[in-house]
Chain A
Amino acid sequence: MIFKIAWRNIYRNKKRSLITITSIFAALFLIIFMRALQFGFYDNLIKTVVESYAGYVEVHAKGFWDNQNLENSMVVDNELIKNIESVNGVENTVERLQSFSLISTGEKTRGGVINGVVIEDEQKITDWNKNIIDGSFQLERNEIIIAKGIAEYFDLQIGDSLILYGQGYRGMMAAGKYPVKGIIDLKNPNLNKLGIFMTLESARDYVSSDNISTHIIIDKRQYYSEDKILNDLESILSSDYEVMTWKETLPEIEQTITADSAGGLIMAFILYIIVVFGMFGTVLMMTEERKYEFGVLISIGMSRIRLFSIILVETVILSMIGVVLAILVTYPISYYFYLNPINIVTLMGEGADVMIEEFGFDPVVPFSISLDIPFSHALIIFTFSLLISVYPAIRIFRLNPVKSMKI
């Protein structure tokens, strides 16, 4: 009966109900649309950075991140990989050995980062094979691929050689001459100045070790939380390891996203204020108009709690209709723009694509289709509708039936 009365009351004032539902729908539509665009952009940004070098989640030997030298490396065995891959959300893993070294040819010398990688495994996580600008991505033992910036600095061509000189494992000297097999554009100015790639075996030979690695890079399933993977890994791995997400290894990306997202949240907040005032206006009118009726209902024996339940159900129904409509309309639109991303040129004008490509990002923004976006905002609206119901609750609990029935 409570639901029946509530539903009929909504129907009783069709125009007002329609206006309330429309305002909720319009605001939520804009919020979901805006956030899907923003989060799509962030996802793309993270994906681009992660695919170009870092992983969503990394495992190192304890203390490696603070003191990045080979004495803080680890031996990766099958059991460790099996344990990591048993965690929900982990899609692929890849092992790397990273070491800092001097690079030299002719009269020039500078610092660089040697990356020992398993080429076949890396193709599951990174997009390096797509970014080779000269030569080949297929490496034999003791061959190297160098980043674009190094090639430019040393004026190197395919077939030229580089001298690498640094410290090996446990105080050993590391030195060698390596022919250049390929040149890669890592789509990031800093990485392009430093990156040198060789096979994992070659890198181990270089540092004089048979079996050490410094990183296990983890790729995750789309929209799966890296924080959850981190927690799960921390609970199953021993204290000999440290687990970090890209938020720690690439804090500048996290800061950029946080700052930009704050702007979106302010806009969402403004829209929420509009919705809340719209809903509150409806509830206010609904309560004031029906004071007489409330008095009658209390007089004939309806408890105040039951009376409040009617108003609560009315408010929740109104907000839920708006919310469900907004989700039903925005999700297919988000899905369409996920499959057919918006081109940045159409949003920001000519030249923006060139600028963005220089930073290593595709000039397209696919929308996020994560269900978290519509459902989290639906939950906020639902919470607001509950909060708004506090007003009629107070009125009902203070209502004097005799006074309210005086015309």
Chain B
Amino acid sequence: MIETKKLSRIYSQGKFDVKAVDEISSTFKKGEFTSVVGPSGSGKTTFLNCVGGLDKPTGGEVIIDGESLNKLSSTEIIQYRLKNIGFVFQAYNLIPVLSARENIEMIMLLQGANDKIRRERTDELLNQVGLYDMRNRRPSELSGGQQQRVAVARALASKPKFILADEPTANLDTSSTSNLLDIMNKLNENEKITFIFSTHDQRVIDRARRVLTLEDGKIVSDKKK
């Protein structure tokens, strides 16, 4: 379970302070499929970055399974992310010099998994995202939708407790978006992985079971379907 307690992130811009996240308190239970929505500048990405330990909150705390991220050093947070959190980015962010298979495998390599486990898990994930036949292609040889599917597989490779996806469908066409959401839905249901999306894509919002709306860094609504 992820819990945020009065989570704040304030940026100083010259004489002014910008409250990107303003004392957000919320809870995400295991297996939730949540969209964080809101207009540009509402604090969606900053909120996800703080939850994922990428950004350091200026106030409040993030507690994951009873452990506060505030107490971890930057090295411990990297290790924590490696073991518990999967990231999916808007721009896919695959390593250009590695093939689809190697991009997925790399996370497990960083975790110290042995050859056999890595190969089996990679094959399993490539099959799940329907890219086994394209496993040896580099990112530049894949379409945007295919790259994002590899990014999802990469995020899942470490068997994380939850996946944070920052506008994952922003660069995808309708069919790729639908295909990606199907995959994510299936993984959420089968593996009980918690998904939190930041998005303003209605197609994603429609598929979410919980919609958290932010405005000016604050929660303005929290609806469960």
Give A contacts to B, CB under 8 Å: 1, 4-5, 8-9, 11-12, 292-293, 296-304, 306, 401-402, 405, 407
Contacts and interface: CB of A to CB of B under 8 A. Distances in A.
A1 B54 contact: no
A300 B97 contact: no
Given A5-B95, A5-B97, A407-B91, A300 B154 contact: yes
A293 B95 contact: yes
Contacts of A4: 98, 102
B161 to A, nearest CB: 13
B98 A304 contact: no
Contacts, number: 61
Contact of A301 (B79, B95, B96, B102): B79
7 contacts: A12-B96, A299-B87, A301-B83, A302-B82, A303-B110, A402-B49, A405-B89
B81 A300 contact: yes
B54 A302 contact: no
B54 A297 contact: no
A391 B20 CA distance: 32
Interface string B98-132: 10001000110111000000000000000000000
Contacts of B81: 299-301
A108 to B, nearest CB: 86
B67 interface: no
A8 B99 CA distance: 11
Contacts of B155: 300
By CB atoms of chain B within 10 A, which of A11, A304, A306, A402 has the most?
A: A402
Interface of B: 49, 52, 54-55, 75, 78-79, 81-83, 87, 89, 91, 93, 95-98, 102, 106-107, 109-111, 154-155, 158
B87 A300 contact: yes
A57 B86 CA distance: 71
Contacts of B158: 301
A391 B9 CA distance: 30
Contact of A297 (B52, B83, B95): B95
A60 B137 CA distance: 76
B97 A303 contact: no
A293 B106 CA distance: 14
Contacts of A9: 97
Given A300-B154, A304-B78, A306-B110, 20 more contacts: A1-B102, A4-B102, A8-B97, A8-B98, A11-B97, A293-B96, A296-B95, A297-B95, A299-B52, A300-B87, A300-B107, A301-B79, A301-B81, A301-B107, A301-B110, A301-B158, A302-B78, A303-B78, A303-B110, A402-B54
Contacts of B154: 300
Nearest to B92: A296
A18 B157 CA distance: 36
By CB atoms of chain B within 10 A, which of A292, A296, A297 has the most?
A: A296
A210 to B, nearest CB: 80
A299 B110 contact: no
Contacts of A302: 78, 82, 110
B190 to A, nearest CB: 23
A341 B55 CA distance: 67
Nearest to A306: B110
Contacts of A301: 78-79, 81-83, 107, 110-111, 158
A293 B93 CA distance: 7
B160 to A, nearest CB: 10
A133 to B, nearest CB: 72
Nearest to B166: A405
A401 B106 contact: no
Contact of A1 (B79, B96, B109): B109
A300 B163 CA distance: 11
A9 B75 CA distance: 25
A299 B91 CA distance: 14
A296 B89 contact: yes
A298 B79 CA distance: 10
